[in-house]
Amino acid sequence: MIEKHNSPNRLASLDFLRGITMVLLTLESTLLFEHLRPVLEGTWGARILNQFFHHPWHGLHFWDLIQPVFMFVAGVALAFSVKKQQSQMSWRQSFIKTLKRCGWLFFWGVFDYAVRKNGLSFELWDVLTQLSFTTLVAFMIINWPVPAQIAISGLCLLIPELLYRYTRIPGFDQPFTDQHNFGNFIDRILMNKINPGGWVAINCISTSAHTIWGVLAGRLLMSDRTGSRKMKILLISGFILLILGYGLDLAHITPIIKRIATSSFVLASGGFCILFLAACYGWIDVKKHRSRLFFFNLFALNSIFIYLFFEIVGDRWFTGYILTITNGLFGIVQIPVFLSAILGSLVVFSLEAGLLYFLYRRKIFFKL
């Protein structure tokens, strides 16, 4: 859906957190991180750059936090949205609206992976597909008491944990082993395939906790508590989740594995999400440091559009086309190949940012 929108009063820190997440995702889509790898190989910078790639299995890199933040921020925004809807429509109308949104999220998530070089494909690993499920779960309990919502989030972690540990399916009975776990078995049933990277569709169950915690954080930020009190609650909550997540991993109970969203991973990443929000809220909304946020707001206000653009148009045509042009032009003036590739990625990013600026000036915002 396309809206002309005059940007009502918004939580600036939420827009910044969403915006910086989308900036990082957009930069990745331009292949910038891939182009930096050979340049930094063998240097201290390689260790930093390695944090911008997913951990291969057991462990946690910075990049493993991007999707959790995406889904957590969606939960915070859902809390604000539903609060506004409650003064304008009945619960049934709000439910239907949310259900339609989840349907569109599911559609675009499937469509994102649908077109492959060897034909059409049905896959359920996209973040939008996952978000369609977690949003619906979070909405259904959004008016429940806080303890009940926390209990449901715990149940979302417990159900997959039990399924991974105690199902005894031949070939898929190794709880935390790539290609041989319960999540891989379900993917074989749902899609008749297993993701070679180890991602599984049932991650949507455990990561529903991220969106639920986002809703709870949103409710907290909308409350009448003082800014310092809100900060204290966020910080304490974040550290508790970090301790629980890393504690389970260090005690060798449940390993932190992002690709199958183990309970320890969801807890640890959820802790980071809450701490990120606390830092942004404290600096931007409490201390009123709101200048120089415009660039990130461009990506926040049209986050769904830019995600679909670089995932569908960019991945299949735009990025490669622009890089071919820039590589050719830079080659004419004898710019080194590695530098040409990096500059090309920055050109792609600049063009995509320019497109967002064009939409902003026209007051056009894509919403689902």
* Confidence at residue 77, expressed as pLDDT on a 0 to 100 scale: 95
In this prediction, residue 8 carries a pLDDT of 45
Beta bridge partners of residue 257, listed in sequence order: 58, 59
Counting beta carbons within 10 angstroms of the beta carbon of residue 240, is it exposed (0 to 12), middle (13 to 18) or buried (19 or more)? middle
3-class DSSP state of 117: coil
Q: Which pair of tokens denotes residue 157?
A: 């972690």
DSSP 222-249: HSSS-HHHHHHHHHHHHHHHHHHHHHHH
Q: What is the pTM of this model?
A: 0.93
The series of mean pLDDT values per 10 residues for the chain, 368 residues long, is 49 94 97 95 93 96 97 96 90 94 95 83 93 97 96 97 94 94 96 95 97 97 94 97 98 97 98 97 92 93 94 92 94 92 96 96 88
Closest CA to 348 of 301, 292, 305, 309: 309
* End-to-end Cα spacing for the chain: 6
Q: Which helix (H) or strand (E) holds 116?
A: strand 115-116
